[in-house]
Amino acid sequence: MRNVDRLCLAHFWVAFGAFLFACLIGTWQMWVRSPLGANIGTPGQYFMSVTAHGVSMAYVLTTFFIMGFGYFVAVTALNRPLPGRLWAWAAFWIALLGVVVTIIPIGLGKASVLFTFYPPLTASAWFYIGLVLVVAGSWIWCVLMLVAMSAWKREHPGQPVPLAMFATVANAVMWLWTTIGVAVQLVFQVIPAALGLVQTIDVGLARTLFSWTLHAIVYFWLIPAYIAFYTMVPRAAGGRLYSDTMGRLTFILFLIYSLPVGMHHLLMDPQHGNAMKFVQVLLTAFVAVPTLLTIFTITASLEIAGRLRGGRGLFGWIAALPWERPMVLATGLGFVMLGFGGFGGIINMGYGMNAMVHNTSWVTAHFHLIFGGSVVIMYFAIAYEIWPRLTGRDHMSLAPLRMQLWLWFVGMMVMTLPWHWLGLQGQWRRVANFNYADPIIAGWGPWVVVSLVGGFVLLISALLFVRNLAVLHRGTVVAVPRALYAVAVHPPKRVPAALNGFGLWNVLVLVLMVLAYGFPIAQFLIEPSPSAIVHRVR
Amino acid sequence: MTMSQSHERTPSDPHVLDQPWRLWATVAVMSTVLMGILLGVVVIPVVQGRGAGLDAFTAICRALGLLPGSPAQPQPLDRTPPTPVSQVVWTPDVLQILARADIAKGRAKVQEVCIACHGEAGVSPSPDFPHLAGQSGAAIYKQLHDYRTGSRVHPQMTDVAKALDESTIPDVAAYYAGQPQRNLNPVTLAESPRAIVNLIELGDPSRNIPPCAACHRAGAGGPIEAPVLAEQHAEYLIQQLKLYASGQRRNDVYARMRLIASRLIEEEMKGLAAYYRAGFR
């Protein structure tokens, strides 16, 4: 096994270990909030558990998976050794140390603040310091991705960077921009408060800085799924990518429009006027564009594959697709979840409609469906696709893989559709328990039980996923080397520098951020708002 | 120029190829954001403001948050003078004073005055006087202030607090707060009936009683002045709950404790007091 394979596998196993742990406690959380498990456990235990679940899923699973996947892409798409392998291992250990430093205060009940940084509630400083270490590790990864791409460009002057690597670097560049907001919030506000250096904190400013990070981070998690859509799915389906340019545009649009939109998370917050909220909501609408481009391009690519396989008629090509292949199946299921989740997100984005669903289960349902559903199912598909390349052993049978993907899809739909409905009924989120003796809340009970069933299905699927990968390590079938990345219908021979690098786009991001966040942040410095007393979880 | 054309063509100079991208990307991105600013800052506020009888300048300033937004119809002012139950205000200054209190000065004052009833280490010999060891400094500060201002009344403490120098109050509070921590999770030390534990951890929503632990846990969640109850004299706790229930003690902000205590029956008061008293060393 090559050293870089070990590097990737180490990242993936940390990611999926955290994932399995988070699935276990997530199911427990659903159980204690349902009428079946009412009054088991205390609110303290519940919030501790939610914190651990959120941190594991949103920070550990994602960051480690993305780093591991990035190293894999850098080596396989560029077909050259990874630069700075020792740095990569150092980044891994720094991030892993960060995970340990974060998990300990959570386990001691000193960090039950959920996984969002919303002062005045502050956790033990170690919680934040650990997460800073995780981010520091990911920054090293970003630099390595940039170095790998520029080294390749030097060796291949004038040639277009392979799309998979271009997209990975787009994600790295976006992540560097993204983490500025939360880094400023942590270093200047939250960590001093957690350490007791200050007694009050400007909550409005803290929430604004966190919003800077909060939406783009979601695209950081999402982009690996899109990389799979563009660069792996067309090949897995037996076709070609409809348009390479469309892919480049999509990742560029994610870079520029995922950042100046975070204030749509603050629509109900009083510290901003309506004008800047409107501007950011409008920009949010533009972030739907790359997703629509992707749906179009990938559907077109799949149609090419379906017709090459003999599909006829308006929809006949759909049936002709090789649905037995995990990557194709995951894409189909992922698109369905992306559809439902996307429509839900458009509701959240609207200033007026958000008011109806704000802080209800609708929001929880939305991000579970989009992230836990369409993104994570593509993480599974990627893992299934590249594990044989990392271990040299192939899957003995694809049936358990398909079963696992189907269970994940069914479980996610059964869990989140009732949550959407309950959100419309007004069921609030971030509470430890419901009083089902209350006649209004009693009506929610059956739907909560339905969603709990979905939760159990997800847990079974998660266990099956880890089993499928574990089995592979002891498998006897030798993997046959085969091409991974899709070729475009018209492979690009030469692309403009704008579609081969990020200089222009970084300038535009800077301008957009100044216009979208300049005044909202400056107002706190011009006229400081009343500060809140820091509440420290001890 | 479309991309499909650019693929076919062999460009002479990459800069020429890139020029339209720089131009049109900038135009596209800037026009979206400027359109957003035009609509959000000017058009919508002015049009909507007209309906609410606002001139254009006021409407734009309000949309930017430069002028306060207010209901279109002015609300009648409430002329009733406020009657705060406590004069303590948790301003940043007060919090800094508490954070920088002088423990040595506090100890000297304790040895001079408080020691008789509350003990040097904050362990009181009689259930009539609360233990103060490991108590929240903010809680001690607020109670001493409330005694001084008459928000809370006690035959001895009112005079003691009035005799204290204003500047020594934070020192005394910090001294007792720094005494050996009490066990903050008493349930691990004593078996309590399930109903009492439920009241503490879950409250009783049907009677609108929030969980005691929401405020009286060591960590965050409640108001800053919420006292630590663990290892307190049971008799003292029952007495205070009864004073709240009857309204004789009334220095709780928003009448929180008066509302809660008035909904508890005597057995519950005893059960809660027993729970919090558990395991005093």
Q: What is the largest CA-CA distance in chain B?
A: 97
Residues A98-135 have pLDDT tens digits of 999 999 999 998 999 999 999 999 999 999 999 999 99
Q: How many CB atoms lie within 10 A of CB A440?
A: 10
Is B177's pLDDT higher than 60? Answer: yes
User: Could you give the CA distance from residue B199 to residue B207 in angstroms, rounded to a whole number?
Assistant: 11
Q: Which pLDDT score, from 0 to 100, does residue B220 have?
A: 55
Average per-residue pLDDT for chain A: 94
Cβ–Cβ below 8 Å for A533 and B90: yes
**Beta carbons within 10 angstroms of residue A53's beta carbon:** 22
Write out the two tokens for B181.
Answer: 């921590």
**By C-alpha distance, which of A422, A272, A423, A418 is closest to A355?**
A423
Question: Residue A275: which of B6, B40, B213 has the nearest Cβ?
Answer: B40
Q: Which residues pair with A201 in a beta bridge?
A: A532
Say if residues A224 and A378 touch (Cβ distance below 8 Å). Answer: yes
Contacts of A24 (CB under 8 A, 6+ apart): A459
Tell me the sheet residues that pair with A360: A428
Q: Which of A121, A122, A199 is the best mutation test for B, with the most CBs of B within 10 A?
A: A199
Is B129 in contact with B175 (CB distance < 8 Å)? no
Mean pLDDT across A369-373? 97
The amino acid occupying position A242 is Y
Q: What is the structure's pLDDT at A1?
A: 57
Residue A532 host element (H or E): strand A532-533
Does the annotation count A367 as an active-site position? yes
Environment class of A79 (CB within 10 Å of its CB; exposed 0-12, middle 13-18, buried 19+): exposed
Q: pLDDT tens for residues A435-451?
A: 888 888 999 999 999 99
Cβ within 8 Å, pair B33-A110: no
Of residues A394 and B70, more confidently modeled:
A394
Burial of A84 (0-12, 13-18, 19+ CB in 10 A): middle
Do the beta carbons of residue A38 and residue A102 sit within 8 Å? no
Is there a contact between A199 and B64 if contact means CB atoms under 8 Å apart? no
- Shortest CB distance from A437 goes to which of B33, B35, B206? B206
Minimal CA separation from B92 to chain A, in Å: 6
B189 or A277: whose pLDDT is higher?
A277
Q: Is A531 on the interface with B (CB under 8 A)?
A: yes
To the query of whether residue A429 is one of the catalytic residues in this protein, the response is yes
Mind giving me the DSSP string for A4-59?
A: HHHHHHHHHHHHHHHHHHHHHHHHHHHHHHSTTSTT-S-HHHHHHHHHHHHIIIII
Q: Is the pLDDT assigned to residue A90 strictly greater than 60?
A: yes
CB within 8 Å of chain B, chain A residues 122-181: 122, 158
* Confidence (pLDDT) at A446: 96
DSSP H helices in A310-350 = 316-320, 326-349
CA-nearest of B226, B216, B210 to A431 is: B210
Partner residue opposite B22 with nearest CB, options A437, A498, A535? A498
pLDDT at A3: 84
- Which residues form the domain of A480? 5-536
At B240 the pLDDT is: 97
A25-34 pLDDT, tens digit per residue, is: 999 999 999 9
Stretch B195-222: mean pLDDT: 83
Chain B residues 13-52 with CB within 8 Å of chain A: 14, 17-18, 21-22, 25-26, 29-30, 32-33, 35-37, 39-41, 44-45
**Residue A222 phi, psi dihedral angles, 5° rounding:** -80, -30
pLDDT band at A96 (very low <50, low <70, confident <90, very high): very high
Decide: A112 and A47 in contact? Cβ < 8 Å: yes
Q: Is A524 part of the contact surface with chain B (CB cutoff 8 Å)?
A: no
Report the mean per-residue pLDDT for chain B: 86
pLDDT at B36 over 50: yes
Domains of chain B and CATH, by start: 3-64 (no CATH), 92-177 (1.10.760.10), 194-277 (1.10.760.10)
Number of domains present in the structure of chain A: 1
Is A286 in CB contact (< 8 Å) with chain B? yes
List the CATH number of the domain containing A99. 1.20.210.10
Q: Rounded mean pLDDT of A418-425?
A: 96
Residue A458: per-residue pLDDT: 98
pLDDT bracket for residue B2 (50, 70, 90) = very low
pLDDT at B14: 62
Q: For B234-262, how does the pLDDT look when each residue is reduced to its tens digit (9 = 90+)?
A: 999 999 999 999 999 999 999 999 999 99
Q: What pLDDT does A153 receive?
A: 96
Tens digits of per-residue pLDDT, A324-341?
999 999 999 999 999 999
Question: Residue B184's pLDDT is what?
Answer: 65
Q: What is the pLDDT of residue B75?
A: 61
Q: Give the single-character DSSP code of A536.
A: E
Share of chain A above pLDDT 90, in %: 87
- Choose from A244, A261, A533 for mutation: most chain B CBs within 10 A: A533
Distance from CA of B194 to the nearest CA of A (A): 11
Cβ-contact A202, A189 below 8 angstroms:
yes
- Residues of chain B neighbouring A283 (CB-CB closer than 8 A): 32-33, 36
DSSP state of B93: H
Summarize pLDDT for A221-239 with one digit per residue, the tens.
Answer: 999 999 999 999 999 999 9
Q: What residues contact residue B270 under an 8 Å CB cut-off, 6+ apart?
A: B234, B238
Residue in chain B lying closest to A271 (CA): B65
The three-state DSSP-derived secondary structure of A188-221 is: HHHHHHHHCCCCEECHHHHHHHHHHHHHHHHHHH
Q: For position A537, what pLDDT does the model report?
A: 84
* pLDDT, tens digit (0-9, with 9 covering 90-100), for A137-179: 999 999 999 999 999 999 999 899 999 999 999 999 999 999 9
* pLDDT at residue A43, rounded to an integer: 86
Using one digit for the tens of pLDDT, what is the confidence trace for B104-151? 999 999 999 999 999 999 999 899 999 999 899 999 999 999 999 999
Tell me which H or E stretch contains A121: strand A121-122
Which residues on chain A are in Cβ contact (under 8 Å) with B90? 533
User: A102 — contact with chain B (CB < 8 Å)?
Assistant: no
- In this prediction, residues A17-43 reach a mean pLDDT of 91
Q: How many angstroms separate the CA atoms of A303 and A433, rounded?
A: 48
Chain A CB contacts of B28 under 8 Å are: none
> What digits encode the pLDDT tens for the residues A53-71?
999 999 999 999 999 999 9
* H or E stretch covering A505: helix A503-526
pLDDT above 90 covers a percentage of chain B that reads 57
Average pLDDT, stretch A362-371? 96
What pLDDT is attached to residue B15?
A: 65
Q: What is the pTM of this model?
A: 0.91
pLDDT beyond 80 at B5:
no
